[in-house]
Amino acid sequence: MKILALLLLPSLALAAPPSAPRRITSILIPMDSAAEAGGPKMESYMNEALGQFQGYTVSKSEQFLGLPRDGEAEASLKRGQQGYQESLAAFEKKDYEDAERKLRATLKELQAATAAMTASCTPLCDAIALYAAVMHQRGDVEEAKLALLDLLALHPTFELNTKRFNREFIALRLQVATGINAALRGTATVKSRPAGARVFIDNEFQGYTPMTVPTLAVGKHLLRLERPGFRVAGQVLEVSPDDVESSTDLQPTEEYKAFDARMDTVATEVMRADKGASPAVSSLGKALGLERALVGTLRDMKENGATELVLGLYETSSGKRLGVRRVVLQGDEFGQLKSELSRIVNHLMNNSEGGSEKVVKSSDPLDNSHGMDEWNREDRGGKRRAQEKKSKGGDPLDGVNGTEDW
């Protein structure tokens, strides 16, 4: 036994430690304003596909471009929280006039703090409920109803504190909830400059700008926009039965400005037909702390509404291009974009390792197949059909297509 252990010692000493995961990410460069909106969404799909490969750590764009919180919104949130506590103290003392004055100032602060309320509508919902109760106590029932309508839009299941509010006010809330106004819906169109920002309404992800959000309850809603490389933006969206529109100019970070200054040179090298190394991609990858990167360009094809993607896989230490694909994407009307991008990523990654395209097992017989693939197989010089003829016997007409005879 001791002899065996001594024999194994040299091999154990020479065994290399496991290599650290290589950092990788996806970077897409829009070549026109129309292609700008799709970039962040497609990058997220591609990074998700990269996450399936062992030996890699996927760096998300917010990690190297930044996604800073709004400092002014954070400050407004703190002032609003303090104001709410003071308003609550006045309400419990039954000094409703003072409570109303404090609540009006508090609500103004909290509406400016939308970008900082990333988990829930607290304390805005609490302040609106308290304001409605104060107006009810002061005899302004209509104002109380309007406030309750805003509360229901923000948080339909918000529960009133039965120890704090009286039965009449709680009954009024039920009356508003079952009234005709609570059933009204509106549509909001959300835009940003640049496009491609993630849209959150009442802290629920909706999609990417520009987009239209249908069937929103009439009243107040929290709108938050997030795009890596830009400061988080937010506002209170006032939805009415008429369509409303929100347009926001996003504020870039210093990291994004430095990143954006490199993009023209990187795009030029990515679109080159030759297989030479890309110094710009190498420099960018080193600056971002990456070992590999999927770097591509997006161009809107105005003639047919499609998007051209030129995507290369690069070794950033040398700038060497390990593979490239050029594809035309026909949008995402049926949710096909994610699977198409996943296939492209799998092809580039597996080919770079000397393998073949990764096939994911699924019970769906149509998974991993594309309608155009089937048409393309029929156009490969009749090879597939000839193989079928050789493999089949019996009926002499098996595998024969009438159009071929003509």
Write the CATH number for 35: 3.40.50.10070
Indicate whether 318 belongs to any domain: yes
Mean pLDDT value across residues 52-78: 94
Indicate whether 229 belongs to any domain: yes
Q: Minimal CA–CA distance to 160: which of 145, 175, 174, 142?
A: 174
Amino acid at 244: V
Indicate whether 315 belongs to any domain: yes
Per-residue pLDDT for 158 more than 50? yes
The CATH number of the domain holding residue 246 is: 2.60.40.1120
Indicate whether 292 belongs to any domain: yes
Indicate whether 6 belongs to any domain: no
Q: What is the pLDDT of residues 7-42, one digit of tens each?
A: 555 554 455 555 789 999 999 999 998 899 999 999
Same domain, yes or no: 97 and 157: yes
Q: What is the pLDDT of residue 146?
A: 96
Q: 56 with 21: CB under 8 angstroms?
A: yes
Indicate whether 398 belongs to any domain: no
Domain final residue, candidates 251, 278, 309:
251
Same domain, yes or no: 210 and 239: yes
Domain final residue, candidates 230, 251, 272:
251
Same domain, yes or no: 79 and 139: yes
- Of residues 266 and 394, which shows the higher confidence score? 266
Indicate whether 242 belongs to any domain: yes
CA distance 135 to 101: 11
DSSP 8-state class, residue 334: T
Pick from 69-78, 79-88, 305-314, 355-364: least confident: 355-364
Pick from 122-136, 226-240, 319-333: least confident: 319-333
Same domain, yes or no: 158 and 205: no
Provide the domain limits for residue 106.
Answer: 71-181
Indicate whether 406 belongs to any domain: no
Q: DSSP for 144-162, please give it.
A: HHHHHHHHHHH-TTPPP-T
Instruction: Report the predicted TM-score, pTM, of the whole model to 2 decimal places.
Output: 0.81
Same domain, yes or no: 78 and 143: yes
Q: What is the pLDDT of residue 133?
A: 98
DSSP 8-state class, residue 228: T
Q: 203 with 119: CB under 8 angstroms?
A: yes
Same domain, yes or no: 49 and 85: no
Per-residue pLDDT for 398 more than 90? no
Per-residue pLDDT for 341 more than 50? yes
Q: What is the pLDDT of residues 188-245, one digit of tens each?
A: 999 999 999 999 999 999 999 999 999 999 999 999 999 999 999 999 999 999 889 9
Q: What is the pLDDT of residues 160-180, one digit of tens each?
A: 999 999 999 999 999 999 999
Same domain, yes or no: 90 and 105: yes
Q: What is the pLDDT of residue 275?
A: 76
The CATH number of the domain holding residue 165 is: 1.25.40
Domain final residue, candidates 251, 272, 289:
251
Q: Give me the residues paired with residue 352 across strands.
A: none
Q: What is the pLDDT of residue 18?
A: 59
Q: What is the pLDDT of residues 365-383, one digit of tens each?
A: 444 444 444 333 433 344 4
Q: Name the domain count of the chain.
A: 3
